[in-house]
Amino acid sequence: MKTKFILFSIVIAGVNYLIFLLAGYFGHPFYGMLISGMASLLLAILLYRWIIRPIEDLKTQLEEADEENTKSEKIRSEFVANVSHELKTPLTSIQGFLETLQEGAAENPEIRNKFLDIMAIETARLKRLIEDLLILSDIENRRNVSMEQQIVIHQSLQEIISSIMPIAQARGIDVILTVDTSLKIQGSEDRFKQMMLNLIENAIKYSRDGGKVRVSGELIPETDKVLIQVRDQGIGISSEHIDRLFERFYRVDKSRSSKAGGTGLGLSIVKHIANLFEAELKVESQMNEGSVFSVLFPSQKRN
């Protein structure tokens, strides 16, 4: 900035001096001074508008782009660190049990079976983590997706609920579905099911035994938007966690979620799919009373 200012002043002073000399040479020192003063002013304005300001604007743009780059690089490296950590934890556990078995624990059938069970659980966790990461990457890159299907909401939700009924039943949780059978939206049925499965799975997972999970769908008449809600009467989420809930790997209670086989990627998958559908997501929750996850799909009239 300083050198630019010095250069700027030298150019103006130079031009000023030249005009002054020329005017003096032709015998009009007063007019010479006047003209050279005005010319310097004009030159200063032009130099500023055409050269200095565009350079300053370009510099600001470059700085902004640089900041943006640093930010996305930071997010990327945090993501890689998180993925590595999440992969390493079950792997370390499997390795530990394997070594103990190799060192002789395998001879005791009771210990052997117990260790093998834990290893099976950890392996399933690893598999789920990798599947979730692949789904996220597919959604982010909009791979394997046709948004042209007509999704019959009742049928789709019924299929999802049937698939997780054994888990709900084992804990005495009732899942109640209320959706008009004619309600439809347009999009990818696979993605829709992935999103709803994650929400209903969470509602069950974070419910108390014997609780109720309500899944409802309705057409909002004034706007033609479709609202789907998943309600539970479970543990609830305190307000300070709500904003971060949809971040990858974010878990309110890490140990509880891990015990339940959670990867912390479920809600981030939900958020990405909601973006794909151009839908709005909302969470309302009361500690110890339960949570409501709402997805508001855009007007279906355009179809």
Ligand X SMILES: Nc1ncnc2c1ncn2[C@@H]1O[C@H](COP(=O)(O)OP(=O)(O)OP(=O)(O)O)[C@@H](O)[C@H]1O
36 binds Mg ion, rule: CB under 5 A = no
264 binds Mg ion, rule: CB under 5 A = no
Question: How many angstroms separate the CA atoms of 295 and 193, rounded?
Answer: 13
Say whether 179 sits in a helix, a strand or coil. strand
Which helix (H) or strand (E) covers residue 256, if one does? helix 254-259
Tokens 């479709």, residue?
A: 226
Say whether 6 sits in a helix, a strand or coil. helix
Residue 207: CB minimum distance to ligand X, A = 8
Q: In the set 19, 115, 232, 233, which binds ligand X (CB under 6 A)?
A: 232
Q: Which range binds ligand X by CB under 6 A, 4-12, 22-30, 181-189, 198-206?
A: 198-206
Q: In the set 126, 160, 175, 203, which binds ligand X (CB under 6 A)?
A: 203
187 binds Mg ion, rule: CB under 5 A = no
266 binds Mg ion, rule: CB under 5 A = yes
291 binds ligand X, rule: CB under 6 A = yes
- What proportions of the chain, in percent to the nearest 5, are helix, strand and coil? 60, 15, 20
Residue 166: CB minimum distance to ligand X, A = 17
Question: How many angstroms separate the CA atoms of 169 and 26, rounded?
Answer: 105
86 binds ligand X, rule: CB under 6 A = no
Angle at 216 between CA 213 and CA 219, to 5 degrees: 170
Question: How many angstroms separate the CA atoms of 271 and 248, rounded?
Answer: 10
Q: Which range binds ligand X by CB under 6 A, 52-60, 81-89, 98-106, 199-207?
A: 199-207
Nearest to 198 by CA among 257, 124, 155: 257
The phi, psi pair for 283, rounded to 5°, reads -125, 130
Question: How many angstroms separate the CA atoms of 103 and 85, rounded?
Answer: 27
Q: In the set 139, 179, 228, 245, which binds ligand X (CB under 6 A)?
A: 245
Residue 253: CB minimum distance to Mg ion, A = 12
194 binds Mg ion, rule: CB under 5 A = no
Residue 206: CB minimum distance to Mg ion, A = 8
Residue 158: CB minimum distance to ligand X, A = 20
Query: Under 8 Å CB-to-CB from 159, ≥6 apart: which residues?
Result: 193
Say whether 17 sits in a helix, a strand or coil. helix
Q: What is the DSSP letter of 146?
A: -
196 binds ligand X, rule: CB under 6 A = no
Q: How many residues bind Mg ion (CB under 5 A)?
A: 2
Find which of Mg ion, ligand X, none residue 237 binds, CB within 5 to 8 Å per kind. Answer: ligand X
CA–chain centroid gap for 115, Å, is 37
Question: For Mg ion, which is the closer residue by CB, 119 or 267?
Answer: 267
Residue 241: CB minimum distance to Mg ion, A = 14
252 binds ligand X, rule: CB under 6 A = yes
94 binds ligand X, rule: CB under 6 A = no
Question: For ligand X, which is the closer residue by CB, 111 or 296?
Answer: 296
What tokens were used for 133? 């990461």
What residues line the site for ligand X (CB under 6 A)?
Answer: 132, 198, 202-203, 206, 232, 234-235, 237, 245, 250-253, 257, 262-267, 291
